[in-house]
Structure 1
Amino acid sequence: MRRAAVAVAAGAMAVSLAACGSAKESKSSSDNSSSSSASKGDNIKVGLLLPENKTARYEKFDRPLIEKKIKELTNGKATVQYNNARQDANLQAQQVDTMITNKVDVLILDAVDAKAIQNSVQKAKDAGIKVVAYDRLAEGPISAYTSFDNEQVGKTQGEALLKALGSKATKSTKIVMVNGSVTDPNAAQFKKGAHSVLDGKVTIAKEYDTKEWSPDNANSEMEAAISAVGKDKIAGVYSANDGMAGGIITALNAAGLKVPVTGQDAELAGVQRIVAGEQYMSVYKPYAPEADAAAEMAVALAQGKSLDSVAKDTVSSNSQKDVPSVLVPVTSLTKDNIKDTVIKDGVYTVADICTGKYKSACDKLGIK
């Protein structure tokens, strides 16, 4: 995945003198900034901005995990200022302004719209606040980034769908693709990864880029696809995440159609649908390593420390090259490995998953 100097000279001596003065001022400013950061020690102020609350993960996992790790790293002395943008890019821009006004030392940012947030990231930098892009690669002068290998997520989904189709996976087999929002750069990477696996193996009869990752929109798109393609001709559905998979499966059920459907995020409802045989798979993304990496990078940046011991990778966006990064691997979650993933890692308990109508299905799978 993803620098410019402008010099204006009136005369050689003027440039030389200006450069000397500028270099001294710059070094002094930089030294003061580092000294200031280092002198803060554990008494730092971290801003945390998450993008939306329709997807269960952000409030249930990401926020508490990040806040917990920051407290651990700073002996409980750091403060975390939090806001959720509720899928509103303009609101998130205002939230960045508030964080700047409140003089946070570092900002962890999961962008609603990765491109639209660029000016806000620049504002933060101009105010001396370094930005850790979280989960989505925000445009602008970010200092660090952590996420998952997003193309691999799409490949994992595509491979799982082909496996579910088995011998039915031929070039004439028709599937529907329901991708994520165009404002989320991760969605484009999921889509690219999935296409790299599915193209030439099956026919993509209908494909949608779903606004705001909305389950309701996904439901409407699936209804439209069933009408356009014909329910007896749809062999499977690529859904980019679990929330949309829920809307898709509702539409499929209404049409009396049962086909394999993919997902992502291992949301509780998605895991329960997998147990019940309604959804074929999800992508399990262990949030703790991602959250821990964000917290570690944020604390290090706020304290003026190097990221070398944390960030082993680099990525580039359209506006920033070689950003220190942590990329976390993912797992295909099916009914066969629920115990070895989300239950073993403590994401959910058996009691969480095997409620009411799901208990008998859990029993059959040996989830007890």
Structure 2
Amino acid sequence: MSAFHHRRRRGLAIVGAFAAATLVLGACGNSSDGDSNSNVSKSNTDNDKPGKKVVIGFSAPAADHGWMGAITKNAVAQAKEYKDISLKVAEGTNDVNLQISQVETFINDKVDAIVLLPFDGAAMTSVARKAMDAGIVVINVDREFDSPFAARSTVLGDNYGMGVSAGTYVCDDAKGDKNKIVAEIAGIDSLPLTQDRSRGFADALKKCGLKVNNRVAAEFTVESGEKAASNLLQAAPKIDYLWNHDDDQGVGVLAAIKNANRDEFTMIGGAGSADVMEAIKAGNSVLKATVVYPSTQAADGIKLARLLVQGKSMSDLSEIEVPRQLKLAAPVVTKDNVDTYLPSAFRS
């Protein structure tokens, strides 16, 4: 899902929830005066040089929208950058039982690592733990497992942060007017990521005295976005701001807006598709901003899996181990900065 939602090697926020040691960001650490008491390790600058062959199994949900398609595309492209990676890609599926069997096949094949974006994190936890118990490095992407023992490292987008970014944009634009009407079109309500996005949005709005006046949920698809938006627009004759969680379902949302002949509000997207960014740049629609949810999370997972199997660390950190968790930033893209993010955006 886009929801489940880009490229961001710009500014990874390290969330060392399980880190064994303090992470020091920035310059490599050994001081020039040769302080023998320093426990800052020397940075590894040879990470991209070919090393031990690494066999990685990759599984993700079906590419039923642009963001998810970009997840797999970017993972495959990243693996091709390394001659020492052999990538086994399972067919994308939204069937939890099938995805479990895919992971079991990887275990039986004795792969070195598994990069897994689960359709359902909770449902995939048990088989991921089975892989870890078998000595296979598991990288959990986007949708978290229920147990910290099910993955060596986890790469996440910042769903709560997406909501905060969208809400902060609304607050800044509203300029203290507490009478603004705010609407929200969420993704799949049963998913924790959707709940986190909505919670972050509501928390940010509270700080400027606003709240969500009208809310509906869709399913991260064009069809569901159009249906949900049609219902919302009928129920809300006046809107000032509309935050749509996902730019893929946003294609349908925009169709509904056009059909309803509504243009009195400012729309903020979510995920950061190229289509939305181009609309923001053109400045000829209700779309004025979108919040990035990186679609290169699995590509990051591929790189981390390779480092872990080869016994390497992240060269830009002083920490000698790959962190247990990486949480990526959720920047807001507007007309002012769209040219920075557009080249790495996915297509809806």
> TM-score of the superposition, structure 2-length normalised?
0.73
Give the counterpart letter for 1:271 in structure 2: M
1:103-131 deviations in Å (ceiling 9; x for gaps): 22111111111212112212222333221
Identity %: 19
1:94-105 alignment to 2 at 5 Å? 94-105=101-112
Equivalents in 2 of 1:105, 1:137: separation in Å? 21
Q: Does 1:186 align with 2:196?
A: no
Give 2:341's aligned residue: 341
Give the counterpart letter for 1:281 in structure 2: A
Deviation, 1:268, is 2.1
Q: Are the aligned partners of 1:245 and 1:261 in contact in 2 as well (CA < 8 Å)?
A: no
Aligned mate of 1:119, from 115, 126, 135: 126
Give the counterpart letter for 1:43 in structure 2: K
1:22-76 deviations in Å (ceiling 9; x for gaps): xxxxxxxxxxxxxxxxxxx52221011122313313333x334333443444xx1
Give the counterpart letter for 1:266 in structure 2: G
Q: What stretches of structure 1 of length at least 5 have no aligned partner?
A: 4-40, 314-322, 353-368
1:246-300 deviations in Å (ceiling 9; x for gaps): 2222212211111212112221222233233231211234555x45532232013
Give 1:263's aligned residue: 269
1:73-92 alignment to 2 at 5 Å? 73=82, 76-92=83-99
CA RMSD of the aligned region, Å?
3.2
Give the counterpart letter for 1:153 in structure 2: M
Aligned mate of 1:280, from 275, 288, 301: 288
Deviation, 1:240, is 0.8
Give the counterpart letter for 2:170 in structure 1: L
Equivalents in 2 of 1:238, 1:347: separation in Å? 19
Give 2:213's aligned residue: 205
Larger C-alpha radius of gyration, 1 or 2?
1
Paired residue secondary structure (2:337): coil
1:1-368 alignment to 2 at 5 Å? 42-60=52-70, 62-73=71-82, 76-140=83-147, 141-166=150-175, 169-170=177-178, 172-182=179-189, 184-199=191-206, 201-211=209-219, 213-229=220-236, 231=237, 233-258=238-263, 259-274=265-280, 275=282, 276-285=284-293, 287=295, 290-291=297-298, 293-303=300-310, 305=311, 307=313, 324-343=324-343, 347=345
Equivalents in 1 of 2:317, 2:122: separation in Å? 24
Change (3 A) 1:83 1:262: farther
Change (3 A) 1:335 1:52: farther
Equivalents in 1 of 2:211, 2:189: separation in Å? 22
- Which has the larger share of helix? 1
Q: What stretches of structure 2 of length at least 5 have no aligned partner?
A: 1-14, 19-50
Q: Are the aligned partners of 1:114 and 1:185 in contact in 2 as well (CA < 8 Å)?
A: no
Equivalents in 2 of 1:291, 1:43: separation in Å? 19
Change (3 A) 1:150 1:339: same
Equivalents in 2 of 1:347, 1:207: separation in Å? 27
Change (3 A) 1:278 1:48: same
The count of aligned residue pairs is 294
> TM-score of the superposition, structure 1-length normalised?
0.69
Ranked by relative contact order (alpha carbons within 8 Å, sequence separation 6 or more), the top structure is 2
Give the counterpart letter for 1:268 in structure 2: A
